[in-house]
């Protein structure tokens, strides 16, 4: 519980372990028992056949909403499935209260197929600034965390993305075509140049972890939903990376960004990818 005069910073220093425990429990109780055992009636479509939600998504979000709001009284929760039920919930990202931003299962398509590439994403933000970040991949039991100004960690080991190795082709995870408008697809065509290897992403959260870990060079995403990006962008920043929209500004979780935008291992790579997205060749 946040006490008198305690800042969110102090809250994070004391409670990051509690958030880790909550995300592990959500996965153990609500997600993993259904992995590879989902019944047909537990899966529904949202905007189309590519956009799925399961009982695991809904129940994990319900569990996390209860635990996180109790941990930080006065905070609010913006979860993907709550916003699907009532889009007005999203407005809290621009409000005055500290906000937990939750994607209970990122990579639901992979989850439904029984594949390994999904995770749970939590971020804590205040007045548009992301202050805490948790990415939990239950298959493999790996957790990545970041607190603003205090670094990024994977299983307790400090993450340093570092610059790409010279002459390496840039591996760039891009929006999946099923989730991308024609205009956004045209901007992503800017990445089809020698020296850049774009590929469609699976779980956005795991792609950010790959950039923060130096296993991939960048992302180029064309949608704004804060639950997909908030945790990963802080993780990349705290690992030494940077993010830029097509117009050269850092991405804002409060919206109004020029899309697509990139997050990359270092500032120079972010600039190079943002220029390509804006149609400027090297
Ligand atoms: C999706 C994944 C996917 C991305 C979609 C997201 P979900 O999240 O991150 O990689 O292309 O735009 O909606 O629906 O599995 O949480
Ligand atoms: Ca997601
Ligand atoms: Ca989701």
Q: How high is the pLDDT of residue 154?
A: 98
Cα of 122 from ligand 3 centre, angstroms: 11
Domain 8-158 grouped into CATH 2.30.110.10: no
* Residue 223 Cα: closest atom of ligand 1: 12
Low-confidence ranges of the chain (pLDDT < 50): 1-5
Going by C-alpha positions, the residue among 97, 123, 117, 214 that lies closest to residue 165 is 214
At 79-107, the pLDDT tens digits run: 999 999 999 999 999 999 999 999 999 99
- Check residue 147 and give its pLDDT: 97
- Closest ligand 1 atom to residue 51 Cα is 14
Residues with CB under 5 A from ligand 3 (ion): 80, 103, 105
Q: Domain coordinates of the chain in residue numbers?
A: 8-158, 170-277
Alpha carbons 102 and 22: distance in angstroms, whole number: 12
Q: Which atom of ligand 1 is nearest to the CA of 111?
A: 15
107 alpha carbon – ligand 3 mean position (Å): 6
User: Tens digit of pLDDT for each residue in 129-150?
Assistant: 999 999 999 999 999 999 999 9
Please give the class, per CATH, of domain 170-277: alpha beta
Closest-CA residue to 64 (of 33, 17, 109, 30):
30
For helices 204-212 and 226-238, the axis angle rounded to 10 degrees is 10
pLDDT tens digits for range 162-192: 999 998 999 999 988 877 888 888 888 999 9
Q: What pLDDT is recorded for position 159?
A: 98
pLDDT recorded at residue 4: 41
Rg over alpha carbons for the chain, rounded to the nearest Å, is: 18
- Does the Cβ of 175 fall within 6 Å of ligand 1? yes
Q: What is the pLDDT of residue 162?
A: 97
Strand partners, 55: none
């Amino acid at each position: 519980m946040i006490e008198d005069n305690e800042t969110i910073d102090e809250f994070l220093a004391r409670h990051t372990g509690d958030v880790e425990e909550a995300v592990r429990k959500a996965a153990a109780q609500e997600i993993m028992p259904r992995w590879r055992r989902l019944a047909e009636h537990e899966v529904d479509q949202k905007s189309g056949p590519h956009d799925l939600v399961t009982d695991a998504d809904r129940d994990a979000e319900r569990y996390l909403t209860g635990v996180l709001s109790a941990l930080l009284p006065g905070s609010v929760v913006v979860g993907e499935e709550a916003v699907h039920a009532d889009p007005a919930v999203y407005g809290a990202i621009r409000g005055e209260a500290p906000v937990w931003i939750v994607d209970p299962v990122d990579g639901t398509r992979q989850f439904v197929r029984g594949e390994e590439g999904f995770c749970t994403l939590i971020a804590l933000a205040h007045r548009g600034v992301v202050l805490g970040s948790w990415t939990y991949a239950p298959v493999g039991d790996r957790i990545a965390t970041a607190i603003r100004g205090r670094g990024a960690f994977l299983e307790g080991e400090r993450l340093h993305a570092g610059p790409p190795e010279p002459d390496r082709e840039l591996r760039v995870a891009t929006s999946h075509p099923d989730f991308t408008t024609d205009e956004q697809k045209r901007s992503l065509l800017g990445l089809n140049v020698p020296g850049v290897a774009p590929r469609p992403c699976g779980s956005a959260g795991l792609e950010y972890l790959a950039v923060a870990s130096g296993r991939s060079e960048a992302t180029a995403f064309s949608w704004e939903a804060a639950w997909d990006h908030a945790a990963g962008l802080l993780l990349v920043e705290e690992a030494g990376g940077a993010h830029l929209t097509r117009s050269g500004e850092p991405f804002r979780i409060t919206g109004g960004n020029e899309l697509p935008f990139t997050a990359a291992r270092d500032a120079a790579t972010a600039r190079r990818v943002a220029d390509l997205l804006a149609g400027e060749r090297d």
